[in-house]
Amino acid sequence: MAAKQPFTTEQQSVRVLKVGERVRHILSELLARGEVHDDVVSSSHISVTEVRMTPDLRNATAYVKPLLGAGDEEVVKALRQNTAFLQREVAQRLGLKFAPKLRFRKDESFAEADRIEALLRDPKVTRDLEGEDGDGDGDGDGDGD
């Protein structure tokens, strides 16, 4: 019988993404069902936008955002205080050999997207984008129509 081949780099990265997505779903489910007994967490509608796993699957960074955007810091602080409970629940539901150590961070991606959108709406940028094809109509075909 042949020895079991280790995961290739591509298979390993797919596995890391899948496990991260499973952790995200588990955390979202726990938060949606109100299983965390904390006033701040239970009074906020929290979205887990992304979970990034380390390649060895031992650490997970969960990016969270309260749906109305208010109280980011308080929510992250409350989640950090309840990390032991959340890690235990994730470990039970995940069924891996090692339970990932959870870290919580506030999600800055929405603020970054707003900043980029504002830059793209800037009149100077709009003028430059319209003038790229040389005919001023911005369609890139150079025919002026």
pLDDT value of position 21: 95
Fold for 10-107, please state it.
GMP Synthetase; Chain A, domain 3 (3.30.300)
The fraction of the chain above a pLDDT of 70, given in percent, is: 81
Candidates 106, 99, 56, 48; CA nearest to 76 is 106
The ranges of the chain annotated as CATH 3.30.300.20 are: 10-107
For the chain, the average pLDDT equals 82
Highest mean pLDDT among 88-92, 105-109, 128-132, 133-137: 88-92
Residue 2: pLDDT above 50?
no
pTM above 0.95, yes or no: no
Distance of alpha carbon 30 from alpha carbon 33, whole angstroms? 5
Distance spanning both ends of the chain, measured CA to CA:
69
